[in-house]
Every structure is written in C-alpha cells, then in structure tokens.
Amino acid sequence: MKRYRSKTTLRDSKPLWCTILLALTSPLHAADILPLTRDCEIALALSAGPASLQESAGVFVLGEEGYELARESGNGYHCLVERNHPESIIPQCFDASSRNGNVQIILDEGALLRAGASFDELADYRTEALATDRYPLPGYGVIYMISAFNYIANPGGLVHVAPHVMFHAPYLTNEDIGSDRGEVLENRGLPMINSEGRHGVMVSFVDHGSDSSLVAEQCAGQLPDEGGMVAFPP
C-alpha cells in the first residue's frame, strides 16, 4: 500500500485537526481505505476519550454500508473513527449534544463513502454541512480527541496531530478570545478556534494521550507507519 507523507509547512497552513475534510490531489475512494478489524476500530474509537467515560460510551464502526452502532451509549457519549483519506484515522468521542449534528454528519459521510463517493466529494459535502443549517447546532459540551493515534489528512499526506480536547463554540472567533496561532503552537495549553462558524470548536492540546495499551493489542500491524509524518503542533 502506498504511504502518504506531508511535506508542507504546518505553521503557515490552515488548522488540520478536528473533522475538516481537506481536498486531496487526486480522487480517492472507499475501495482504497485502510482496513481495520472491528476490535481494532472499537479500541481506536474509545482511545479518543478519557478512561472515565470509555466503559459506558457508545461506539460506531464503519461497516459495509456505512457506520453501524457496535455498542449502545450508557452515558450520552458516542465514539467513532472518522476517515478523510485512505490511511487516515481520526478517533473522536462526542458528547450527547453532538449526536444530531457532528456525529450525524460523520454517519452520513460514511454512508456516502460506502456508496462510492470519493474523498473529494465528501470534502464538498462537509464544507456545505458546516456552513448551512442542515444539521443542528450542539449545546454546551465537549468533543474528546485525546487519542495518541490522530492521523489526519493534509493535501500533502498524513499529519500526526497531538491529543486535544474541543469545546463547542458556534460563531466564536479567534479574535473574540484573543487567540494568536503562533502562541498556541508554542504553548499547547492555549486555546484557539477551529472551523469558525456554525460548528466551530475551541481547541486545547493536552499533555499526553489516553492509555494506548488496548490499541496496541488490537491493532498490531494495522496502523500507518508514523515514520516521516509531520507532527502538529511541531
């Protein structure tokens, strides 16, 4: 399988974490997607959240026709692994207020992907979904992405994004919170706004990721090679 590596300068690029689908240089389809076993995908999905919510969180996995509910939620949280590139892995755990918005966007994209849509077409779908009122705004709450396995697509390849937490921030801007991108890259704890607009989020990077032991056990030999990936933040 071909490996994709980023050679872009991330300090000057647009924010690359979260769930923004960026257009790639050539059409790529679901047939090219990195295969993961069900147990591996569940382990990756749960790795997005802290241990305190993992046991009772619901889990979606990508099946033959789209995302399938592998486990019901007992605490309002739902975890899944989003894809925006054949080798991307984007584990996320969403709070209850995200279910009909952020989560449903990804579920709908999964159905489109399995129906034959290209990743470029999904990027267009995401752009429209974020800009219109097709999906409801979330309430106050949080999206966890504290997995150590955040491999998100950049037009030049995959980027290894540091563990972070996102807070719903509809229509809040970086100017509103006095955030400076350069300062954030130098001090990971400082917040910044990603995807300014209806589904904007406030992002804050954390000191370390969640426990990786279950992922290491269930995903041996299945994950992309991190060698050569650009880290973000640097």
pLDDT truncated to tens, each residue of the chain (234 aa)? 333 333 333 433 333 333 333 333 345 555 578 899 999 999 999 999 999 999 999 999 999 999 999 999 999 999 999 998 888 999 999 999 999 999 999 999 999 999 999 888 998 998 898 888 999 988 889 999 999 999 998 877 789 999 999 999 999 999 999 998 888 888 888 999 988 888 899 999 999 999 999 999 999 999 998 888 999 888
- pTM of the complete model: 0.86
Residue ranges making up the domain that contains 136: 10-163+209-219
Would you state the pLDDT for residue 30? Answer: 56
Would you state the pLDDT for residue 31? Answer: 57
Domain assignment present for 113: yes
Domain assignment present for 148: yes
Number of structural domains in the chain: 1
Would you state the pLDDT for residue 20? Answer: 34
Domain assignment present for 159: yes
Would you state the pLDDT for residue 215? Answer: 98
127-134 LR contacts (CB < 8 Å, sep 24+): 127/21, 129/105, 129/199, 130/20, 130/105, 130/195, 130/197, 130/198, 130/199, 131/197, 131/198, 132/198, 133/198
Would you state the pLDDT for residue 29? Answer: 54
Would you state the pLDDT for residue 142? Answer: 96
Domain assignment present for 32: yes
Domain assignment present for 73: yes
Domain assignment present for 204: no
Would you state the pLDDT for residue 189? Answer: 85
Domain assignment present for 171: no
Domain assignment present for 98: yes
Would you state the pLDDT for residue 14? Answer: 39
Would you state the pLDDT for residue 182? Answer: 85
